[in-house]
Amino acid sequence: MRLSPRLKTISKFVEKDTLVADIGTDHGYIPVYLIEKGIAKEVIASDVNKAPLESAKGYILKKGLENKIETRLGNGLKVLKPREVDTVIIAGMGGILISEILSESSMIVKDIKNFILQPMVASEQLRRYLYNNNFKIIDEKLAKEDNRYYEIIKVQLGKDNIEDPIFLEIGKKLLENKDPLLDSFLAKKLKKIRKILKNIEENGNVFRNDKYNKLKIKYNKIKRMKESI
C-alpha cells in the first residue's frame, strides 16, 4: 500500500509495537498502513461521522484486518478508555479543533505517551495551546504534496519553554533538525509576507501602521532563520 507523503510522514512518527488510536480516521489509510507494515500492534480507528467511519470499516474489511483494527464512532478522545492506547494520531483537522479535542479529555490525555498532530490550518494556535497546557513538542517534520506544506508535530506531556514567539509559527525542531523542506517552506512564507507588506506600502502610511511594523519584524526574523540553515 502506498501512502501520500503527508500520511507517510505521520506514520514515521509512530513507534514500533505501539497501541494506536487514529482519531478522525476517515478513509482508514493510516491504521491499515500501520498494521500492514508491522509498526503498530493494534489500532482503534475512530470518527465522529458515520459515513467516513463506514468507509474506513469497508477498507479494513477489504484488507482483512478487522482483528487488528477496531472502529469506533464518536467525538474526539471520548471513544477511548484510560490507558487503552499509548499513541494518539489526530491528523487532517484544523489546529483549533485538535486543541479542543485534547482539552475535552484530560483524563485520557494524561496517560498517552505520544501524540502525533497534523493541523491543516492554525498550527500557530495549536503550538500556543500546547505550550500553555503542559505539552512538549519533541519533534516535527514537514511533508509536501503538490505545492502545499504540512506540519507534523510529535508531542508528549511535559513542560516546554519557547524563547521566541516566532517558534509558534515555525516549529523549532524543524530548524534544529534542518528539515529538508524547511528552506522552501520559509521561502513560501517570506513570499506571502512580502506580498502583504507591498500591499500596505502601496495603500497606506507604513510608519504609523502597527500591522506593517510587526510583519516587517517577522519577515526579518524568518529571513535570518532561512539564511542560517
Site for ligand SAM (CB under 6 A): which residue of 9, 14, 24, 45? 24
Site for ligand SAM (CB under 6 A): which residue of 76, 95, 119, 171? 76
34 contacts 11 by C-beta, under 8 angstroms: yes
- Give the range of 18-26, 65-73, 123-131, 216-224 binding ligand SAM by CB under 6 A: 18-26
Question: What strands lie across the sheet with 148-157, from one edge to the other?
Answer: 69-73, 40-47, 18-23, 87-93, 114-119, 148-157, 135-145
Environment class of residue 131 by beta-carbon count within 10 Å: exposed (0-12), middle (13-18) or buried (19+)? middle
Check binding of 220 to ligand SAM (CB under 6 A): no
Site for ligand SAM (CB under 6 A): which residue of 42, 45, 52, 126? 52
31 contacts 56 by C-beta, under 8 angstroms: yes
34: cell is: 500501520
Site for ligand SAM (CB under 6 A): which residue of 21, 39, 43, 47? 47
Check binding of 108 to ligand SAM (CB under 6 A): no
Q: Which parts of this chain interact with ligand SAM (CB under 6 A)?
A: 23-26, 46-49, 52, 75-76, 91-93, 97, 101
